[in-house]
Amino acid sequence: MLEMLLLASIPVLPLIYVTAWVLGKISRRHDPRPMVRRKLDRNWPWN
């Protein structure tokens, strides 16, 4: 059972990583004021 879960999660992890990277690139590219966003990121509790 555990082996099947591990085998099923192997192809999914790179997809999640690539999706997160692409979304980060898109949001960075369309951000007109990166300094303001960085300041907001620092003030958010989950960062």
- Going by C-beta distance under 8 Å and a sequence separation of 6 or more, which residues neighbour residue 31? 37
Report the pLDDT value the prediction gives residue 9, as an integer from 0 to 100.
Answer: 82
pLDDT in tens, 1-47: 788 888 888 888 888 899 988 888 877 776 556 556 666 666 666 54
| pLDDT score for 7 | 86
Residues 34/28, Cβ–Cβ less than 8 Å: yes
- pLDDT digit string, tens, across residues 11-24: 888 888 999 888 88
Residue 1: its pLDDT value, please? 78
